[in-house]
Structure 1
């Protein structure tokens, strides 16, 4: 009999075996079970290979982790169960466990069925038995391999004795395999080596296996095996995270040395994902765009280069010009920079909303000061309207402009002592006004914030310019991660503005400046000698000063540039198709994708 005929006959045996069972009462459920056995993956969702990313050798050679560890106090591995990859992983898992359940049903029919299994044709029964064993042996192999990778060498012999896959499959074929005893032994071994906090989960796994065995419920037995493999994954994560915590000081202190050698080696051997020449061109353009005549004999050339570089990075966070995208030398910081860009853009849009509120309340006759309570109320209302749209760029603000303008108008009427009144014409005019402000005053508000933030970034860089990576970590990653709601600092009631430039939100700007300066200082120390400071090769002089506007230097921590005059309150609305959209920062190729684990970093907007 052909191999295909054997496979098809096994499908028929499976389908007929489950027919009449309450769990598979419909034809569709039986077809799904059979389809899973035929098509689902043969390996469990967790294997020794998939967990190898968490081995100590791979941890210390993981360039992304070694970079990310500088930016997160609580960095740790965790399963990546979110987004498209997480959904794919869930589908894989569901199909696999259903197929394992189907395989156990097929074993029951082949090995312990009534009447006894009698193959048709000339094919030996052992052929059917062999073809049926697609997943269970591999599941036992996975448990065996992962357990041995977790327990000390002294316990390896015990694992080999209790998880002899060939012996277990023979016991299943003869109907004498004691799965309860196997799981109970595994539970005792796990409790010897895993944290006490996992004991409840272990006990739950054993309870499920006992329940499933007593009731001959294969679905419950599979759930117990699923718990077991899930616990092995969790134990591996616990071990990896413990190793990260122990190695963290050494990894951080060695960041610059390690990354320099890593990138140079890949460049020399033509394995780098970084466009080295594009990075050099970007730096040459930065120098050319920001250069002025050398006017200070005391100006240090190295310091000037760092100022130019810092200004270029800060500018990229505010720019809507794709020409100002950062080169792919920043690929390890892409998530952090993208998060910063989103936060900056949201801050600018909030400021535009506050400016409109300030103008509208005056139009409604209110000329007095604005209380802190009113400021908090307006801020909270606008934040609630934006909700999860925060961090999704200008289009999200434009999409919510009708609700935002309605709330701004309502709050302006309330502070002016009026009962909120709206009609279709006023609502439309207010919405058009806000949208035009988003289009036409974004650059003004962004440039104002940029000037203030640049002063703080340069001040932070000046303070930490000689700090080691460990000192940078201790000083610049001390504050908790930013919240999703923009924490504006309200002005005293005597100041009639919400602006961060007339009333600087020190906490927020201090947080942003620390995060930016940390990225700048590490990146510059790693990449400047590799890609940027190439005076002789490029012919571009980097012994330059910053331009006088804005007049910002590393020592000018209290200096700020004068903003350009504001645009009219309600200019003519721009056509909707002319609304500029902020492009994503170019970050080059990402590192090679992992097997399904990610190391969480607090600067990420949402954390392969």
Structure 2
């Protein structure tokens, strides 16, 4: 018995050696390595596609939140970044392993190609152990296909994809893969979109070519195309469901998220530091009381505090100043907003430096909108992919930016473009210092321009339903091109002080995006974390003792109480699985 067990343990190594001898050179070693170490299941399985099932779509907290911000939200294969590259490498290794396994079948079941020095091999045991991935591949195809076709076609799938029968036919050399692929083609074309027909035909052609030419690689390419088609069909169904349910999902956002988070908090499995979020808001309440507009209603006052606190973090360059964990569903959006705002601050620092250069060149004339636009375009080209990565990337490009600022200043002032190295060196040194020291000052100025627009936008949309907010604040997928600027709309900038002071610019898009995040977050988390029952009873005198400044921003109405807008989509919180999409 011990000897038999030892022989069985050596069979995988014998199979790998057999592959190397059948396919000489580095190709055989590569296929042998893949056969031994690749995953047993294909990259696409019923389990991996289960995220696309309708029940999981409805219960997916991230998708339920993200659908509020993206008109084109859809599922797609996620092959981005490091994890995506790892998926591609694992998939390639799996398909190589499948090629190796088919090559083994050709030797073990059909007896070709012939091998020398193989008399001592236990062929029946090798044939049994060689069948590792192909049976699982057939099972996967069967499971995924049955999840895509209606009940009336289930028996057809079971009949044609009987795994045990197929493996017996392969062992006896009578498995007709071409006929199987043609049957699959007819079934797929009955149920998939017409745009997939060419892809289906390609799958059949690869299979037919592989059988006629006795090419394992071509057969595997056919199987690979088949799995890709099944995945695309599943994606098509899921994305169609998202489009149909979009309005209902959005309208039920607050109700669903509030129940979801409350259930996890009560059960102690939320994974969110609620106490830290409460402490953050309490400290912001103390810090921002004076700048706030006096309010008669405690909730309106607290919301303005919340708005100012969020905007303040967006403009902060302090790495220790970050959002509490309750914002976890908006982290990517907030990170993108913060990067855009910080780039805007850096642009203003550069425009400030540009104005100082012009003054140094004794130029005090007007600066056209075109000049500012051209300078901004040049700075954007210099930054390239460095934009959106913080002020440190602007400092890395400081020398090139300084040179461009000097060039534009010489051109605007009418001076000869004789580049004074000493001037460029001084400009570079001064700009570097400005990036280092004057960021908070310029960020504060920009924040004071954007904050009133955010408060005004919140005031306009606070009573709106989530779907109305979506329709108002999320731009269309293909917005019409902006009209050409008229003569009257072209602003002229004048140097009035040490800085180049622009005319106030609208930040409609930024204000809308910030407003959207704040409104959904406040309605969801306000009653759970920030606004506690004892806070609502705070008297007006307690709030207004220290709030002496005159009102500068629109008053904010009290947020409405959310009702159960969509009972059909409300699910028991304890059953909601953790899932991600895209």
Alpha-carbon distance in 1 for matches of 2:22, 2:412: 74
Moved more, 408-417 or 510-519: 408-417
Cα offset, 1:301, TM superposition:
1.5
Superposition pairs for residues 357-506 of structure 1, below 5 Å? Answer: 357-479=354-476, 492-493=491-492, 495-496=494-495, 502-506=502-506
- The structure-2 alpha-carbon separation of the partners of 1:5 and 1:551, relative to structure 1 and needing over 3 Å to count, comes to same
Q: Which runs of 5+ in 1 are unaligned?
A: 20-26, 483-487, 557-590, 600-608
Partner of 2:39: 41
- Conserved in 2, the CA contact under 8 Å of 1:293 and 1:544? no
Shift of 1:293: 11
Structure 1 position 431, deviation (Å): 1.3
**C-alpha separation between the residues in 2 aligned to 1:308 and 1:101?**
63
**Structure 1 Cα separation of the partners of residues 196 and 495 of structure 2:** 56
> Residue 161 of structure 1 corresponds to which residue in structure 2?
159
Range 418-427 or range 75-84, more displaced: 418-427
* TM-score of the two chains, using structure 2 as the length reference: 0.88
Measure, in 2, the Cα distance between the counterparts of 1:550 and 1:201. Answer: 67
The equivalent of 1:346 in structure 2 is: 343
CA contact (8 A) 2:292 2:304 kept: no
Report the equivalent of 1:16. Answer: 21
Contact 2:40 2:136 in 1 (8 A): yes
Cα distance change, pair 94–115 in 1 and its aligned pair in 2 (3 A): closer
CA drift of 1:541 comes to: 7.9
CA–CA distance in structure 2, aligned partners of residues 169 and 104 of structure 1: 12
- Residues 162-215 of structure 1: CA distance to partner in whole angstroms, max 9, x if unpaired? 111111111111111111111111111111111111112112221222222221
Distance 1:375 1:140 in 2: 63
- Determine the structure 2 residue equivalent to 1:24: none
Q: Deviations over 1:138-169 (max 9, x none)?
A: 11111111011011111111111111111111
Matched residue, 1:80: 78
Give the CA deviation at 1:376.
2.2
Residues 183-202 of structure 1 correspond to what in structure 2 (within 5 A)? 183-202=181-200
Flag structure 2 segments of 5+ consecutive residues without an equivalent. 480-484, 557-575
TM-score (norm 1): 0.84
State the shift of 1:427 in Å: 3.0
For the 8 Å contact 1:13–1:109, the answer to whether it is kept is no
Secondary structure at the aligned position of 2:367 is classed as: coil
SS of 1:45 mapped into structure 2: coil
Evaluate the alpha carbon distance shift between residue 540 and residue 98 of structure 1 in structure 2; reply closer, same or farther with a 3 A threshold.
Answer: farther
**CA deviation after TM superposition for structure 1 residue 402, in Å:** 1.0
Quote the residue 1:7 is aligned against.
12
- Residue 328 of structure 1: aligned partner: 325
CA drift of 1:294 comes to 10
Question: Would the aligned equivalents of 1:290 and 1:547 in 2 still touch at CA under 8 Å?
Answer: no
Alpha-carbon offset, residue 417 of structure 1: 2.1
Higher mean displacement: 217-226 or 53-62 = 217-226
Q: Is the 8 A contact 2:19 2:103 kept in 1?
A: yes
User: Shift of the alpha carbon at 1:275?
Assistant: 0.7
